[in-house]
Amino acid sequence: MPLGGTEDAPVGRQDAEPIQTTRSPLEARQALRMRRLYMAMASYAMWVAIGLLGWAGGQVELPLTTVGFITVGILATNLYFYYMIRSGRNLGRADPSMTLSQLLIALAWALLLIFSAHEERGVMTSVYLVLMLFGVFQLDRRRFLLVATLAAVGYVGVVGLDAFLRPHMVDLASEGFRLTVLGAVLAWCTFFGTHVASLRETLRERNDALKEAVERAHRLAERDPLTQAFNRRYIMASLNREKSRADRTGVPFSVAICDLDHFKIINDRYGHLAGDQVLMAFAELARRELRGMDVVGASMDHGCFGRYGGEEFICVLPGTKLEGAKECGERLRESTEHSPIDVDGLFKVTLSVGVSEYRRGEDIEDVLRRADNALYLAKQNGRNQVCCERRLKPPPKPGDVVPLKRYR
């Protein structure tokens, strides 16, 4: 074996497929969740800084150990959510964004901060607005109402606990006014959040409908309307993709042209409707048989089975040499012969197949022409058989005796 190459590829040629750099939809959604988490971390950092500033100025009266506990707890909370999203463990949850979990934990820290800053409680309640904004664009109506209700009940609980522990420091009239304002703000946020959730749901439904319409248009553009096999346009595009791949990497591919024998007799004797049903039944049979073969792909980047025109079908066989393509055609021929088609009675249909292998650097028309010639040979030899292209004879080696042609 020569250095730097293999038996199937020339020396110095790179056979690796180009690296795909496009993000998958799942990776894009995970990246979006990470950006949202970074925004939440920045908000946490801002409010921790405000709390430390209030503690240093005396507005927040807490022991140093409590301040350290809150700071470390918030850091641990953010690290937990970062680990869950970064590792992909969030994908196993019903809500991969974990928005509700993040909001409930943030609500608990906010209530602790509001309880600690009893004299500056009116200022610290503004943290609720930040929490509500995070929930507006992600939570549905039911969960948003849950968070808003817990926020209001939690504030009432904080004020009640503060009044029980430090009754001389609580002004019930002021706290009542604050609670009224907070209730009005939470009610507005709830109304706005549920409205956004409704718009988001409507937009999702329209996006789903648009996606379905686009997929249906793609199917109509790629599929034969009668047999639902790929159409001629898609087949030619698939052949050109395989040609580019073979020219670039040296990976072989083959083509098999299949033709139903005596199909014109079926149309003339039983009518075109019967002929159409035979075509549909054969296409379904072929898809079922080819689906289990490793040599056949059915994706945009690999091979396909499609209707070429009339009663002719084509199999594009990626990564397959001539012998494998012949085996594939033979299997399909046998299955067709031994599977009578029921169209107001049983039709025994046979199949002729012509097979050719792509030769590096040639045009698509050349490989199709050789497969068509092989199909013609199968028809001439009695039909119901598989014929391969005629291979070119290798050039004579030095010293070989070459017989001379006689001319008259």
CA angle, residues 47, 53, 54, in degrees to nearest 5: 90
Known active-site residue 7: no
57 by DSSP, 3-state: which?
Answer: helix
CA distance 319 to 253: 5
Confidence of residue 405 (pLDDT cuts 50, 70, 90): very low
Helix (H) / strand (E) element for 396: namely none
Pair 304, 238: CB distance under 8 Å: yes
Please determine, for residue 9, whether its predicted confidence score (pLDDT) is greater than 70: no
46 C-beta neighbours (distance < 10 Å), count = 12
Range scoring the smallest mean pLDDT among 134-138, 326-330, 351-355: 134-138
Where do we find the tokens 């009940």? 153
Please determine, for residue 280, whether its predicted confidence score (pLDDT) is greater than 90: yes
Confidence of residue 108 (pLDDT cuts 50, 70, 90): confident
CA angle, residues 193, 107, 192, in degrees to nearest 5: 10
Catalytic residue among 311, 323, 330, 334: 311
Confidence of residue 172 (pLDDT cuts 50, 70, 90): confident
Give the dihedral sign, CA 287/258/227/306: positive
In this structure, what are the phi and psi dihedrals at residue 275, rounded to the nearest 5 degrees?
Answer: -60, -40
Confidence of residue 56 (pLDDT cuts 50, 70, 90): confident
Strand partners, 290: none
Pair 87, 131: CB distance under 8 Å: no
**pTM of the full predicted structure?**
0.51
Please determine, for residue 301, whether its predicted confidence score (pLDDT) is greater than 60: no
Strand partners, 316: 255, 304
Write out the residue limits of the CATH 3.30.70.270 domain(s) in the chain. 232-388
CA distance 9 to 3: 11
232-388 is classed in which CATH architecture?
Answer: 2-Layer Sandwich (3.30)
Confidence of residue 1 (pLDDT cuts 50, 70, 90): very low
Range scoring the smallest mean pLDDT among 83-92, 161-170, 379-388: 161-170
CA distance 381 to 375: 10
139 by DSSP, 3-state: which?
Answer: coil
